[in-house]
Each structure stands twice: as C-alpha cells, then as structure tokens.
Amino acid sequence: MASSESDLREIIRSFKFERILNHDVKLKLIFILGEINSEPAIAIAEKTAFDADSASSLLDQDVSDIRLLDHNDIYRWLMVTLNQNINSAPAAKISLIWPATPTHIAKYSTPRRRMITETPEMYRRIHSPYIEKMRGSRIQWVYNILEHKVESERIVYENPDPTEGFILLPDLKWDRTTMDSLYLVAIVHRHDIFSLRNLTKAHIPWLESVQEEIISNTIKAYPEVDHSQLRLYVHYLPSYYHFHIHVTHVQYDAGDGTSVGKAVMFNDLISRLQEMSDDSSGYIDSTLSFLLSENSELWTEGFSAAAASI
C-alpha cells in the first residue's frame, strides 16, 4: 500500500483513462474509470471549496489570468485562473479506488433510478439476503476504522463503549478546512445494527444519547460551528450496511445525499420510533420508500422482478 507522496504521484501518473462514469456539474464532481497496472481504478475529482478566511486576497493577489466572457450594464462575467497552493488553496481533491470492483463501477456510473416502496415482506424476502452478502469482507474497511488499524489520526472523538459508543471522524468529501462544508461521519461500535430497519423503541435512549454526544463533541472540536448549524441524518438505503450517521453543516449542499428518497433526519427517525406502539417491532415492520439505481445488484437481482409483478 503506497503511502509516500512520491509513490502516490507515480500511481496517479500511471492511471490510464477509459471512460467517464458520471459528471455532476452542480457539485463540481467527475468520476473517471481507468486502469492502474492493468487493474480497474476509479478516480473521483472534486473542485475544492473556497476558504472564506482567505477571501480578502482572492481577487487582488490570487488572480493570475483573466478573460471577459460578457457584460450587461453593471454585470460582468469573467473567467479567471487562480493561484493555487497545496496547503491553503488546492485546486481539487482526488479520491482513488483501486483496484475497483464491478460494484464500485456500477455505484459511480450515471444512474437511472427507480422509486421503490419497500414493504416489510419485501425487506425480508429481497433486501435482507442482499445485506448478508454486502457485509463481512465487503465492509472490512469499516472494521479497520473501528479497530484503529487505519485513519486513527483523523478521529475527532470516540466513545469506545462496544454497545453505546461510536467513532466520529471527517468524511473524505470534506477538505477539513472550510467550515461551511463540514462533513463528519459517526460510525457505531456495535455490529448488530445494519441500517435504520434494525431500530426499535428500545433503542431510543441510545439514539438520543448518541445524538447529544455527536453535537456536543462536534462543537467542541469546531467552535466556529453552532449546534443549530449541524444537520444529522442517516441514509436509506445506506451505502454500506453498518449503522452510521452523517453530520454536515447546513450550508453544505450534499446533493442526492440529503434528497427525498435517501436522507432521513435523525430527529425524525427518533420521533417515528416514539410514535410507534409499544408492541411494535420497530422499523422492520414499516413500509419505506427510497431511490434505487438500476445499476444496483439489489435492483437487478431483486426489486426489478418485484416491480414487474406489480
């Protein structure tokens, strides 16, 4: 596993372009499929956010080239080249997945999506067997984080209790500099909760405690952020089946990550559990709707047939 800057530079330079998987103009993201040493690789390039603290020098010092696009009355539109600095003003952030699996390639390809209304019966018959396939070695990287084998230097806060605890660390989408784009993830230590489907009324005190702990320690680590500027949510469907909570600044545009059919606000998750009857089995007995990509194995090997039969 390459770790030095020279090794990483050589790996990046050996990347051989194959095709663009996806391109998000709004979020300034591009997903590129290629090869490194004859193995599939995915490079995700993202334009970095502006640093508000350095805005004073943005125009008078950082512009090295300029071209007028158009003007109308008091309005002018310009293209500029900004001076870059790897520490304070990097041009882009690159995420590299190598070797990439067919699942990764499908995940990052431009998706055609379906709206799924999943009944409890559909969850047990279609979704639950899929979850079993997607756990174990598929999420070994999550266990590596929880066991401090990797990324321990990035941990913002940890409650080490094996049942009540979690690790809070920056998501790789965040540049760890711009507070308006703050993005953390809390990964719980317990292994018995795969998604919100496994939550019951008995989990309410734990969920409330985790929520309070996340907010208080995020504010402690980043005092520039107020508690009312934090947004806590989970995904259904999650991108991996080990319970985790997303923590973002309300100014951050997470795109599909916070859209209807994907994000469930943490307060709403708890409130719905509180409203369930005392004899309820929790979310496993709920009907839930979510967006599902046609590239997903869950669609091709399960929900496509269920949709066709309706």
Whether residue 244 lies in the annotated active site = yes
Query: Do 191 and 211 share a domain, yes or no?
Result: yes
* Per-residue pLDDT tens digits for 164-178: 999 999 998 888 888
When divided into structural domains, the chain yields a total of 2
- What confidence score (pLDDT) does residue 66 get? 85
Report the distance separating Cα 288 and Cα 281, nearest Å.
Answer: 15
Count other Cβ atoms within 10 Å, centred on residue 226.
11
- Closest among 127, 123, 118, 128 to 290, alpha carbons compared: 118
Q: In sequence order, what are the residues at sequence separation of 6 or more whose Cβ sits closer than 8 angstroms to the Cβ of residue 236?
A: 195, 196, 197, 262, 264, 288, 290
Give the structural domain span for 147: 111-308
Query: Do 170 and 237 share a domain, yes or no?
Result: yes
Where is pLDDT greater, at 260 or 103?
Answer: 260
- What confidence score (pLDDT) does residue 142 get? 95
Q: In sequence order, what are the residues at sequence separation of 6 or more whose Cβ sits closer than 8 angstroms to the Cβ of residue 147?
A: none
CATH number of domain containing 95: 3.30.200.40
Query: Do 194 and 97 share a domain, yes or no?
Result: no
* Per-residue pLDDT tens digits for 178-228: 899 999 999 999 999 999 999 999 999 999 999 999 999 999 999 999 999
- What confidence score (pLDDT) does residue 2 get? 52
Residue with tokens 């008078």: 60
| pTM across the whole model | 0.70
* Residue that terminates a domain, selected from 71, 106, 141: 106
In the chain, the percentage of residues whose pLDDT exceeds 90 is 63
- What confidence score (pLDDT) does residue 89 get? 76
Q: Are strands 39-47 and 16-24 parallel, antiparallel or unpaired?
A: unpaired
Q: Find the mean pLDDT for residues 49-53.
A: 75
Report the distance separating Cα 240 and Cα 185, nearest Å.
Answer: 13
Residue 271's identity, in one-letter code, is S
In the chain, the percentage of residues whose pLDDT exceeds 70 is 96
pLDDT-derived band of residue 310, with 50, 70 and 90 as boundaries? low
- What confidence score (pLDDT) does residue 309 get? 59
pLDDT-derived band of residue 3, with 50, 70 and 90 as boundaries? low
Query: Do 180 and 301 share a domain, yes or no?
Result: yes
- What confidence score (pLDDT) does residue 149 get? 93
Catalytic residue among 203, 244, 246, 249: 244
Q: Find the mean pLDDT for residues 135-150.
A: 93
* Per-residue pLDDT tens digits for 65-88: 888 888 778 878 888 888 787 777
Q: Find the mean pLDDT for residues 89-113.
A: 86
* Per-residue pLDDT tens digits for 225-248: 999 999 999 999 999 999 999 999
Query: Do 147 and 10 share a domain, yes or no?
Result: no
Please answer whether residues 89 and 82 qualify as being in contact, where contact means their C-beta atoms are separated by less than 8 angstroms: yes
Residue 9's Cβ-count burial label (10 Å; 0-12, 13-18, 19+) is exposed
Query: Do 97 and 163 share a domain, yes or no?
Result: no
Residue 56 has pLDDT above 80, yes or no: no
Query: Do 138 and 96 share a domain, yes or no?
Result: no
- What confidence score (pLDDT) does residue 265 get? 98
